[in-house]
Amino acid sequence: MLVLFAFILGAVIGSFLNVVIYRLPAGESIVHPPSHCPSCGHRLGALDMVPLLSWLVFRGRCRYCGAPISPRYPLVEGLSGLLFALAAWLHPNPDVGLLLIWAFTALLIALSFIDIDHFILPDSLTYGGLILGLLGAALWNEPQNWATAWRGALAAAGLLALIAGFANLVLRRGASGKAGWPVGLEHVYLAAAVAAWFGWPWGVAAAALAVLLNLILRRPLPLPDALTLGLAVLGILVASYGVLPQSVLESLWAALLAAGAVALAGGFYWAFLPEEEEGEDEEPVAMGFGDVKLAGMLGAWLGFGPFVVGLLAAVVAGAVLGLLLRRRKLPFGPYLAVGGWVALFWGAQWLQAYLSYLGLS
């Protein structure tokens, strides 16, 4: 009965997610005006919005004007119902934990389809999911405890930000990206560099000081990406020889935490500013910053270890599908979402099995 209820609830939520997927990227309200046919504008009644059934009964057409309705609508409803039901089967306790898993699932579905359509991951969903994951951890220890959640969020965002930084450095042949004011990606890399040598609080402090200097000088200070990223790697290498107060793992962990803290804080700042229009001379990037924010959200829900499992699954899936479709540009958000959802249930077990195989358990 719980699984059946979950399917029905998921299909209903999926109907609402269709509205979110369509309206949120367009900057429209998701509650007003009421649902209507996109072709004739006629307001839809209750019979028009029964999940799955309405589309089948009316043969995929509006019953007022006869215009075709995209099969995307029943696809989202059916996918939501199936994933809600599967979550209930894997977590058969009707408690707060299951409610949070359903919320997590709904967020990932909305983010995935928006990224497929527009190559964006809205801040309202990524940061909303991050905050919800942290609240669940703080109030109910679900789906992770508080320490695992906040560390996972910072480290996951830091890992993806640094991966993107090194990839961009290669893509630009060593050239730095466009400096941000008062805060930009260069401060993420600076935080990682200082943290790798002295600890993550010092890395965050160094980035905050650089931002303060930018505000005082009213211009961005030059911080070459090759220098800061190189110093981060050098600090981790030096730590491996036992020269620094922290071990090599502590140095790496500090770099990830500091980079993630500055990345998420900076992203939160930019979320409240008007978006810049894309120009013809837009610099090439290997990965959008929305993926970094999504990584922070996933880290809060999964913890860092399972997030890495989900990230590896996302990379493999993206590479395989990219080769099959022969497309150079694919949104990474849906792959991260799939990897994150799978890792929520099996990531910890797979990680433990792999560590046991290596004799590190």
Low-confidence stretches of the chain (pLDDT < 50) are 280
pLDDT at position 65 is: 85
pLDDT at position 323 is: 75
pLDDT per residue as tens digits for the range 18-27: 999 999 998 8
pLDDT at position 286 is: 73
What is the SS3 string spanning the chain?
CHHHHHHHHHHHHHHHHHHHHHHCCCCCCCCCCCCECCCCCCECCHHHHCCCHHHHHCCCECCCCCCECCCHHHHHHHHHHHHHHHHHHHCCCCCHHHHHHHHHHHHHHHHHHHHHHHCCCCHHHHHHHHHHHHHHHHHHCCCCCHHHHHHHHHHHHHHHHHHHHHHHHHHCCCCCCCCCCCCCHHHHHHHHHHHHHHCHHHHHHHHHHHHHHHHHHCCCCCCCHHHHHHHHHHHHHHHCCCCCCCCHHHHHHHHHHHHHHHHHHHHHHHHCCCCCCCCCCCCCCCCCHHHHHHHHHHHHHHCHHHHHHHHHHHHHHHHHHHHHHCCCCCCCHHHHHHHHHHHHHHHHHHHHHHHHHHCCC
pLDDT at position 6 is: 97
pLDDT per residue as tens digits for the range 283-300: 777 788 999 999 999 999
pLDDT at position 318 is: 83
pLDDT at position 280 is: 47
pLDDT at position 111 is: 97
Q: Domain coordinates of the chain in residue numbers?
A: 2-94
| pTM, to two decimals | 0.94
